[in-house]
Chain A
Amino acid sequence: MSSAEIAVLPEREGFKIRWGDLAPFIALAVIVLLGTLINSNFMSANNILNVITRSAFIAIIGVGATFVVATGGLDLSIGSMLAFVVGIMILAMNALVPSLGAWAIPVGALVALVVGSLCGLMNGLIITVGRIEPFIVTLGTMGIFRAFITYMTDGGSLSIDRSLRTAYRPVYFGDLFGIPFPVLITLVIAFLGAFILYRTKYGRRVTAVGSNSDVARFSGVHVGRVRTMAFVIQGFCVAVAAICYVPRLGAATPTTGQLWELQVITAVVIGGTLLRGGKAHIWGTVAGALMLEVIANVMVLSDMVSEYLVAAVQGAIIIIAMLAHRFTSSR
């Protein structure tokens, strides 16, 4: 049989609707619809912007976590790392105010990005060079970062210098053409993340390492480097979230970012990224982060369920999402 007989269809990926990939967006739409039915205030521009802005932290960190999870890793230290980076950044800014004035803010932000990336690099190197499970390593660094922020705040709170508050405030509370800055930053980070993951060689290697690290190794992919880099991206994203976080409250406390790792992992997983690696959805993660915040908001607005049960509902959501995935993928 000659090869000419085989009809090779052109690639038409764009036209094929993959319902599995759309699931997080459909779920988000359903929850928004429910929210509108339950309380008319839900759809007010004010409330919607508020909800989206608040979801920015989880979404930004979630973009980094998507990389880590896509390589088959897991980072439990992100909540503590955020607090640690916030603490370092505030210390740096306060120290720089006398000499630099308002310029202390961008320089402090730069310090945060470097520190965040280094924290990620440390996690990544311990995991890949030391060949230790990511779960164990980041469980350890989670404790270390949390202890450091408690030490830095002396158990109380570490506030940013008064003179910087007004200048820094807009990074969280300001907007451009009516779109809050944190939302813009989330969009930029998500676009960058999607570009790296789907359009670059590095992204291709991330997927390869996550779906089968043996295949990747046999194909000459430096598996350790790819994994480590994913943790650096994670650290960088944590630092970006920290930069948005400081103007909101103006201080770090020992409970800053506590349990955020669970929210982030929830967002990643309900966004359609496989926890065992390989399949990654940046925009699904963003939708997942929004979903968590919208659920909390709807519960606060409605009187049907106590808002103390928010975490229970979020917890139920992740299990339902996984069951749905099992159900649809087994066919």
Chain B
Amino acid sequence: MTFAPTDAAGGAQEPPVLRTEDLSKAYGPITVLSDVTLEIRAGEVHAIIGENGAGKSTLMKLLSGHATPTGGTMSMFGKPVAFADAVQAEDAGIVLVHQEILLAPDLTVAQNLFLGRELSRGFAVDDRTMNRRTAEVLARVGSLARPTFRVGDMPLAQQQLVQIARALLDDRKVVILDEPTAMLTNDEVDALLGIVRSLRAQGVAVLYISHRLEEVEALADRVTVLRDGKMIGTWSAQALDQRQMAELMVGRELSMLYPPKREATTSEPVLRVEDLSVEHGRISGSFSVRPGEVLGIGGMIGAGRTEMIEGLMGLRPAQARAISLNGKSVAKPDVNAMMAAGLVYLTEDRKGKGLLLNEGLGPNLTLQALDLVNPGLRLDRKREGRSIQSAVREYDIRVRTLSIQAGQLSGGNQQKLLLAKVMLAEPSVVIIDEPTRGIDIGNKSQIYRFIDDLARAGKACVVISSELPELVGLSDRVLVMRSGRFVAELTGEDITEQNIVYAAASSGDDTEGRKHA
């Protein structure tokens, strides 16, 4: 990288609110975060950025007591501290506002704020005092809600504010906001940024985790970049623009994990999706894919990639103006109709939606193509046995015995079993969502080879991935999604991690990739 960290000795006037030195976290032999040395000062907004899996959430958990470090030290105002749990961290003045809404929908705002620490007068709860203090803190975050509103009746953005208000109920030194804008609309984001600024003006130290780089640029005083569980450095926010941030987040070279790229194909698209609209238009777009092509779909978590494909498969409410598959038109999104026409989908949620963990290989392998393996009403045990044998061989599923349950397989073998399962229907288009999530490097490169083989055999592959090297290493073409829309299409030399991150995270006004209709 060309820019050196600009922070270094910054303002050494008073001891920082929170300081970490060589903070590390390992789960067993796997180190997920190593040697983070960080200073957070009063009255600053300190952004933490990094790719998915860079270690941002691990760091947040360590700072807020939700997890305990396996190495390094923390200090507050120069005095060493260690938190056994989140309560201790909160007592010390550090609070984490979670990304998801963790409120009881049937309770009022005040009841939620004081949940577990209700004020009482004698045996009765002191609603009057709690409502008054709630009103005060709501005013502080600029919420128009009343303490007596039922949380479940409020819009998501207002609920998010209630969460922040809860964090501010007691005097806080450090407020950690984990992707606070992930679920908000643009106007709501603006309001939230205003609140963060006013917190800063009140002298609170705000740790701001976001993958939206324009927010970071607009808001942060300093930026710390994490990559692959390591701290890359801390910069003054003025020293970086969005593109530089993206480059710092990515900053690594393509490894030899990936098979060599295929030659570009020019044949007619095998799958054409026109104006697919999922969840009443919250997510919508058109795309097509050619035989022998690997189409990557990139974007940040929450951009709507999985939802779009689940909509296409009829797994969530969706309409499309037209879907044509293998030259035939598919009337409406439906898993079975799609499978019959030659399209299958491999879910990202291997354990929750892909495999029956308590069942053996056979029931899992044949569940989707049950009618193909068993032409009659009866189960054809012999054919099922042959399917298992050939799947185990073809996809290299490592098992000691064929009577093993799917839940006992390693992640990599589960993924291969899932791949074998959807391929049993002999599709011409395969959509694979996060093909290598949570599997080791050896299985990863095997899966990449399978995908390459499929493309070489003339199948069309669509790969949704949050791992940028994977998209770059596999794809002939990449569509980038942001807030439910395709915002860029990258081909050839333009497929770089920087371009993908930039299109996925920036406001997209000056995206170099062509806008996709």
Residues of A within 8 A of B (CB): 3, 6, 8-13, 16, 199-205, 207-208, 211-212, 214-221, 278-279
B512 on the A face (CB < 8 A): no
Tell me the minimal C-beta distance from A276 to chain B in angstroms. 11
Bound together, the chains give a CA A109 to CA B240 distance in angstroms of 83
Tell me the minimal C-beta distance from B361 to chain A in angstroms. 9
Q: Knowing A8-B392, A11-B385, A200-B378, say if A218 contacts B403 (CB, 8 Å).
A: no
Tell me if A208 and B356 are in contact (CB < 8 A): yes
Residues of B within 8 A of A3 (CB): 392-393, 396
The residues in B between 320 and 344 inclusive whose CB is less than 8 angstroms from any CB of A are 335-336, 339
| 8 sample A-B contacts, Cβ–Cβ < 8 Å, listed by A number | A8-B402, A11-B385, A13-B403, A16-B403, A204-B367, A212-B352, A214-B352, A217-B315
Residues of A within 8 A of B379 (CB): 199-201, 203-204
Residue among A203, A214, A219 making CB contact with B367, cutoff 8 Å: A219
Tell me if B335 and A218 are in contact (CB < 8 A): yes
Residue of B with least CB distance to A196: B377
Residue among B363, B368, B401 making CB contact with A207, cutoff 8 Å: B363
Residue among B345, B347, B363 making CB contact with A204, cutoff 8 Å: B363
Tell me if B358 and A279 are in contact (CB < 8 A): yes
Residues of B within 8 A of A211 (CB): 356-359
Top-7 shortest CB links A-B: A220-B335, A219-B368, A220-B336, A219-B367, A218-B353, A214-B353, A211-B356
Known pairs A215-B353, A221-B367 / 14 extra A-B pairs, C-beta < 8 Å: A3-B392, A6-B396, A8-B393, A9-B400, A9-B401, A204-B367, A212-B352, A215-B355, A215-B356, A218-B335, A218-B345, A218-B353, A218-B354, A279-B358
Tell me the minimal C-beta distance from B171 to chain A in angstroms. 44
B399 on the A face (CB < 8 A): yes
Bound together, the chains give a CA A218 to CA B398 distance in angstroms of 25
Residues of A within 8 A of B347 (CB): 218
B370 on the A face (CB < 8 A): yes
Tell me the minimal C-beta distance from A268 to chain B in angstroms. 18
Residues of A within 8 A of B339 (CB): 220
Residues of A within 8 A of B357 (CB): 211-212
Tell me if B367 and A12 are in contact (CB < 8 A): no
Tell me if B370 and A201 are in contact (CB < 8 A): yes
Tell me the minimal C-beta distance from A111 to chain B in angstroms. 27
Tell me the minimal C-beta distance from A200 to chain B in angstroms. 5
Residue of B with least CB distance to A6: B398
Tell me if A220 and B403 are in contact (CB < 8 A): no
Tell me the minimal C-beta distance from B348 to chain A in angstroms. 11
Bound together, the chains give a CA A200 to CA B380 distance in angstroms of 9
Residues of B within 8 A of A207 (CB): 356, 359, 363
Residues of A within 8 A of B349 (CB): 214
Residues of A within 8 A of B491 (CB): none
Residue of A with least CB distance to B345: A218
Bound together, the chains give a CA A205 to CA B371 distance in angstroms of 11
Tell me if B378 and A199 are in contact (CB < 8 A): yes
Give the interface residue-count category, chain B: 35 or more
Tell me the minimal C-beta distance from B332 to chain A in angstroms. 14
Residues of A within 8 A of B354 (CB): 215, 218
Residue of B with least CB distance to A16: B403
Residues of B within 8 A of A11 (CB): 385, 402-403
The residues in B between 375 and 400 inclusive whose CB is less than 8 angstroms from any CB of A are 377-379, 385, 389, 392-393, 396, 398-400
Tell me the minimal C-beta distance from B220 to chain A in angstroms. 39
Residues of B within 8 A of A279 (CB): 358
Residues of B within 8 A of A204 (CB): 363, 366-367, 370, 379
Tell me if A212 and B356 are in contact (CB < 8 A): yes
Residues of B within 8 A of A216 (CB): 367
B410 on the A face (CB < 8 A): no
For A11, A201, A220, A279, which residue has the most chain B Cβ atoms within 10 angstroms?
A220
Bound together, the chains give a CA A220 to CA B345 distance in angstroms of 11
Bound together, the chains give a CA A279 to CA B336 distance in angstroms of 26
B99 on the A face (CB < 8 A): no
Residues of B within 8 A of A (CB): 315, 335-336, 339, 345, 347, 349, 352-359, 363, 366-368, 370-371, 374, 377-379, 385, 389, 392-393, 396, 398-403, 421
Bound together, the chains give a CA A202 to CA B371 distance in angstroms of 10
Residues of A within 8 A of B378 (CB): 199-201
Bound together, the chains give a CA A13 to CA B401 distance in angstroms of 11
Residues of A within 8 A of B353 (CB): 212, 214-215, 217-218
For A203, A218, A279, which residue has the most chain B Cβ atoms within 10 angstroms?
A218
Residue of A with least CB distance to B400: A9
Tell me if B367 and A215 are in contact (CB < 8 A): yes
Bound together, the chains give a CA A208 to CA B378 distance in angstroms of 16
Tell me the minimal C-beta distance from A286 to chain B in angstroms. 22
Bound together, the chains give a CA A325 to CA B85 distance in angstroms of 34
Residues of A within 8 A of B421 (CB): 219
Residue of A with least CB distance to B336: A220
Q: Knowing A208-B363, A218-B353, A218-B354, say if A201 contacts B374 (CB, 8 Å).
A: yes
Tell me if B368 and A220 are in contact (CB < 8 A): yes
Residues of B within 8 A of A221 (CB): 367
Bound together, the chains give a CA A279 to CA B363 distance in angstroms of 13
Residues of B within 8 A of A201 (CB): 370-371, 374, 377-379
Tell me the minimal C-beta distance from A6 to chain B in angstroms. 6
Tell me if B402 and A10 are in contact (CB < 8 A): yes
Residues of A within 8 A of B352 (CB): 212, 214-215
Tell me the minimal C-beta distance from B45 to chain A in angstroms. 40
Residues of B within 8 A of A215 (CB): 352-356, 367
Tell me if A12 and B403 are in contact (CB < 8 A): yes
For B353, B357, B396, B421, which residue has the most chain A Cβ atoms within 10 angstroms?
B353
Tell me the minimal C-beta distance from A157 to chain B in angstroms. 43
Bound together, the chains give a CA A109 to CA B402 distance in angstroms of 46
Bound together, the chains give a CA A203 to CA B381 distance in angstroms of 13
Bound together, the chains give a CA A147 to CA B282 distance in angstroms of 49
Bound together, the chains give a CA A219 to CA B368 distance in angstroms of 5
Tell me the minimal C-beta distance from B255 to chain A in angstroms. 20
Bound together, the chains give a CA A205 to CA B359 distance in angstroms of 12
Residue of A with least CB distance to B354: A215
Residues of A within 8 A of B356 (CB): 207-208, 211-212, 215, 278
Bound together, the chains give a CA A15 to CA B357 distance in angstroms of 23
Tell me the minimal C-beta distance from A4 to chain B in angstroms. 9
Residues of B within 8 A of A199 (CB): 378-379
Residue of A with least CB distance to B358: A211
Residue of B with least CB distance to A274: B358
Residue of A with least CB distance to B393: A3
Bound together, the chains give a CA A314 to CA B363 distance in angstroms of 35
Tell me the minimal C-beta distance from A2 to chain B in angstroms. 9
Tell me the minimal C-beta distance from A192 to chain B in angstroms. 13
Residue of A with least CB distance to B355: A215
Residue of B with least CB distance to A212: B356
Residues of A within 8 A of B399 (CB): 6, 8
For A8, A200, A215, A217, which residue has the most chain B Cβ atoms within 10 angstroms?
A215
Bound together, the chains give a CA A203 to CA B357 distance in angstroms of 18
Tell me the minimal C-beta distance from A329 to chain B in angstroms. 11
Tell me the minimal C-beta distance from B346 to chain A in angstroms. 9
Residues of A within 8 A of B370 (CB): 201, 204-205
Bound together, the chains give a CA A11 to CA B355 distance in angstroms of 20
Tell me the minimal C-beta distance from A42 to chain B in angstroms. 39
Bound together, the chains give a CA A19 to CA B272 distance in angstroms of 53
Tell me if A218 and B315 are in contact (CB < 8 A): yes
Bound together, the chains give a CA A221 to CA B421 distance in angstroms of 14
